[in-house]
């Protein structure tokens, strides 16, 4: 499950930060996960619970923001908003969309104490 390895990476980043700026625990982790990042939110939440066990982030709340993705339709040339990779072009119904935005996954904020 690739969401789990993403979460383990995330925990590594958090523990790294704890070395520079000592804190006892992480209260909230705010993430931006683009709609086209290819990440399943439920799997991500589950992966985080697993990866955070026994770490500073064990009881952290995961807040996930999901901006819609942007894609260019290769059939009609329109720039459209899409929520997942399987969605057709809302202009022409074509399925040849190239993602332009919304593929990011990053930590926006860590609330620590
Ligand atoms: Zn189109």
pLDDT in tens, 31-68: 999 988 889 999 999 999 999 999 999 999 999 999 88
What are the b/e assignments for 33-56, b being 16+ CB within 10 Å?
A: bbbbbebeeeebeebbeebbeeeb
Task: Output the pLDDT for position 56.
Answer: 93
Q: Specify the DSSP element, H or E, that contains 26.
A: strand 26-33
Q: How far is the CA of 64 from the centre of ligand 1 (A)?
A: 29
Instruction: Give the 3-state secondary structure of residue 63.
Output: strand
Q: Mark the residues whose beta carbon lies below 5 A from ion ligand 1.
A: 73, 75-76, 78, 89, 91-92, 94
68 CA from centroid of ligand 1 (Å): 17
Average pLDDT over the chain reads 92
Domain boundaries in the chain? 2-112
Categorize the per-residue pLDDT at 71 as very low, low, confident or very high, splitting at 50, 70 and 90.
very high
Q: Which residue has the tokens 């190239």?
A: 98
**pLDDT at 22 > cutoff 70:** yes
User: Quick one: average pLDDT of 17-43?
Assistant: 91
The CA 102 to ligand 1 mean position distance, Å, reads 18
Q: Report residue 65 as tokens.
A: 């923001």
Residue 1 has pLDDT above 80, yes or no: no
Query: How far, in Å, is the centroid of ligand 1 from the Cα of 99?
Result: 13
| pLDDT for residue 85 | 76
CATH topology of domain 2-112: hypothetical protein PF0899 fold (3.30.2320)
């Amino acid at each position: 499950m690739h969401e789990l390895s993403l979460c383990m990476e995330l925990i590594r980043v958090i523990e790294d930060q704890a070395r520079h700026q000592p804190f006892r625990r992480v209260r909230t982790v705010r993430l931006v996960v683009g709609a086209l990042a290819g990440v399943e939110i439920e799997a991500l939440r589950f992966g985080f619970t697993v990866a955070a066990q026994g770490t500073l982030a064990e009881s952290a709340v995961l807040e996930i923001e999901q901006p819609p993705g942007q894609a260019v339709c290769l059939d009609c040339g329109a720039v459209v908003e899409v929520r997942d990779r399987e969605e057709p072009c809302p202009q022409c119904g074509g399925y040849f969309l190239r993602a332009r935005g919304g593929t990011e996954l990053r930590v926006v904020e860590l609330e620590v104490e």
